[in-house]
Amino acid sequence: MMNETDDSLQLPIVSIFEANLLNLTQGYLGNPKVLFEEIKEIINKKCPSPSCLTATAVQLLQNSLRVGILHRLMINGNGWQEQRFLSNGKPKTGRLWTRHDLKTVPLQFSKAVLEFLIWNVAYAPNDIGNTLKITAGELLPADCLFFYLVYSRCRTDLELRGHYLKSSLFRDNPIIQLNFPADVSNSNNKNNLVKFSKCHGDIWMLIWEGLQSELKTNRLAIEEKKGQIESWDEQFNNGSWDSRILTNWLNALKDWKRFDLSRFLLQVLEQLLCQQDVGLSFWIGSLKSKEGPRMDRRLETHRKALALLQTESIFADWIDWARSTNFLDDDYDLARFWLTEWEHFQGDEILRKCRRILHEVEPV
């Protein structure tokens, strides 16, 4: 019979502040047991912070972060599925945890995550002088993923969205910029276009592969939203920012020789152009024609709204390169992989329809 006083059966004891901090972390990471209302309550209700956290609380927090983030990538990000990606220039098929050795590529977090969580529990958003002094330049890859998950969980709340975008932890976060470019563009803050070329390495590749499903979902929402925009200035500004981000992203993939990480864009293009067969009005149909700017500005706005379709020139260069690569060339396996991807997502049909729509906006 098991002893009722066995230490292994006793729940860890933490303070009220530490309990709030742990619940907030679980809520940010998408634990269904922590409702969004509870997240808001913890954030809006100030709770004085202790001079330091107990060892028990720190251990529980570290475990919550690692397990919660990996669970998000494996389940929400479809990491449990057998998928095919590139590894050292060659195709590799398997689940996320078989393509990446998590023992040799551990998720590590900096002090920024803990400072952010303490800041959220200790202060209310409207407190005078409530400023988070950590900057995005100090973040590790796992930190960026954590702050993306925080933002993704809270972005439907406009007050919290605006509150978080005041910090460079969010608006200069590469994952947030790629998933929610319009949020950053409309934040009325000083925005810095991230250099995706720096977001490279084993941990980053794990993250980018694990987020492909969310990137696709969010990109579809971005394109659908464009067709609902009535303001010419908003369409122009959002499109300009989106165009820079997409170009920056695809250029980084070319440098990394990781064409596979553009898969979510091909999936969106195939769904919109080949399956739904949408036309120009899908992107610009709600712009108010009677209240619009001069003709040259209108033309440029239409072009910016079609930022996703403008990527066809980059994809065309990639497929031309792949088709010209010979068996004896060093990147032959990479080229064959890209040709397979291209054919699977009807790449030639995508190019044809992109060019047709892009031609429609140009003056005769």
pLDDT at 5: 47
Percentage of the chain lying above the pLDDT 90 cut = 71
Residue 326 has pLDDT above 90, yes or no: yes
Choice between 275 and 2, residue whose per-residue pLDDT is larger? 275
pTM of the model as a whole:
0.92
The pLDDT of residue 101 is: 83
Between CA 286 and CA 225 the distance in angstroms is 10
Alpha carbons 198 and 187: distance in angstroms, whole number: 24
Mean pLDDT of the region 317-340 = 94
CB within 8 Å of 257: residues ≥ 6 apart: 86, 89, 331, 334
In the predicted model, is pLDDT for residue 3 greater than 60? no
Condensed to tens digits (0 to 9), the pLDDT of residues 49-82 reads 898 999 999 999 999 999 999 888 888 777 888 8
* pLDDT at residue 364 is higher than 70: no
Q: For 126-153, what is each residue's pLDDT tens digit?
A: 775 566 777 777 789 999 999 999 999 9
Q: 235-293: per-residue pLDDT in tens?
A: 999 999 999 999 999 999 999 999 999 999 999 999 999 999 999 999 999 998 777 78
Pairing of strands 90-94, 83-87: antiparallel
Neighbouring residues of 104: CB distance < 8 A, sequence distance ≥ 6: 202
- Which residue type does 105 have? V
Closest to 353 in 3D by CA, of 306, 321, 317? 306
For residue 4, pLDDT over 80 is answered with no
Cβ atoms of residues 179 and 145 within 8 Å: no
Contact partners, residue 5, CB within 8 Å, separation at least 6: none
The total of other beta-carbon atoms located within 10 Å of residue 120's CB is 24
pLDDT given for residue 22 in this prediction: 96
Q: What is the pLDDT of residue 80?
A: 82
CA distances from 11 to 52, 273, 356 (A): 21, 55, 64
Q: Are 194 and 172 in contact (CB under 8 A)?
A: yes
Considering the chain, what is the average pLDDT of its residues? 90
Give the pLDDT score at 10. 67
pLDDT band, very low/low/confident/very high, at 188 (cuts 50, 70, 90): low
Contact 361, 310 (CB under 8 A): no
